[in-house]
Amino acid sequence: MPAFWEDQARAQKVLKEKGLLERVVKDFDALALVRDDIATLLELATEMEDRDTAEEAKEKIPELDRAVKELETRRLLSEEQDAMDAIVEFNPGAGGIDAADWAEMIFRMVSRWAERRGFQVEVLEYSPGDEAGIKSASLAIRGPYAFGYLQSEIGVHRLVRISPFDQQARRHTAFAAVGAYPEIDDTIEIDINPADIRMETMRAGGAGGQHVNTTDSAVRLIHEPTGVVVKCSAERSQHKNRDKAMKMLRARLYQLELDKRMEAQAELNAQKKKIDFGSQIRSYVLQPYQQVKDLRTGETSSAVDRVLDGDLDGFMEAWLAARAEGTLGQGNHDA
């Protein structure tokens, strides 16, 4: 057993896989327990002709439904990279100040979703907008199947609302893009030639009025052969920011390789499309009515506030089911 710990990277990978399997077993055991409780209550209700006991069994059925749905969703997370942690990027598109504000709203929405699940959320880069919102931002989200779930958010998101920045209170449409990549560990070989990387430094600014660094600690890396650009300003140390930016770059290049292998670059890198009309994956309408609609699956919700506060599970589950069935993009596109 001591030899197991000599290779720390391999040991951590094995422990992570062990944790994922233990969670599946734990969830299945919990489901079986609820099922057995319901069966016992129904048996007692029948024997004793007790309506209250039958009602108690009925009240447990939604809990069983949720447990079955959770396991079914887990079954859909079967792709090679689904179990990995994720790096998520946010960028405003068409819509001016509203788009910058909308990009920040999506940044918060995804952060809240991750926090609800108990995932670790780390801000890698955050560039405030000139008047409101953000110019760009990046998160590392770490938890079981983080990337598997967050693939459903890749693409252009459209917002329709009465703009808080319009003195005449007119309705505006704004766009923002989400990109997601698996955060790969050091056991996955990604060959990067140092000569292919150009590094730029700049001053880093924080969110919400945080202290602005007086040194050029933020780092931008440009991978010349592919044109991939990553930026990190999370740390006050330029060296630490460069290390994290390299990890982000490795993740982006790994994703490019996966795209080639799966011949799905257009879907997985939808944020590279023009962030404008006709390219959205999901619409969020706040006026004249309230509805969120995914244009790939047809999944809808009228609980807009809940969705914007991170209630994304329904959309993610519908996307995973459509991916498994090969029906992505066949939803109702009227929006």
Structure tokens at 228: 């991939």
pLDDT at 210 (0 to 100): 45
Average pLDDT on 251-274 reads 63
| The amino acid at 203 | R
pLDDT at 123 (0 to 100): 94
> CB count, 10 Å around CB of 240?
14
> In which band, very low, low, confident or very high, does the pLDDT at 262 lie, cut at 50, 70 and 90?
low
Q: Does residue 335 surpass a pLDDT of 70?
A: no
Higher per-residue confidence, 299 vs 55? 299
Q: Which residues contact 51 (CB under 8 A, 6 or more apart)?
A: 45
> In which band, very low, low, confident or very high, does the pLDDT at 102 lie, cut at 50, 70 and 90?
very high
Average pLDDT on 203-228 reads 71
pLDDT at 191 (0 to 100): 78
DSSP string, 116-130: HTT-EEEEEEEEE-S
pLDDT digits (tens, 9 = 90+) for 282-292: 999 999 899 99
Average pLDDT on 181-210 reads 74
Going from N- to C-terminal start, the domains of the chain cover 2-76, 81-335
- Cα dihedral 167/173/174/179 (nearest 10): 160
Burial profile 189-216: b = 16 or more Cβ within 10 angstroms, e = fewer: eeeeeeeebeeeeeebbeeeeeeebeee
Average pLDDT on 212-230 reads 82
Which of 332, 334, 335 is CA-nearest to residue 298?
332
- CATH (residue range 81-335): 3.30.70.1660
Q: Which residues contact 80 (CB under 8 A, 6 or more apart)?
A: 258
Angle at CA of residue 93, ends 91 and 244, nearest 5°:
15
What's the whole-model pTM score?
0.70
Q: Which of 35-39, 62-66, 104-108 has the lowest mean pLDDT?
A: 62-66
Distance CA 312, CA 297 (A): 14
Q: Which residue has the tokens 């792709």?
A: 79
Q: Is 163 exposed, middle or buried (0-12, 13-18, 19+ CB in 10 A)?
A: buried
Give the β-pairing of 155-162 and 280-285: parallel
> CB count, 10 Å around CB of 69?
12
pLDDT at 333 (0 to 100): 47
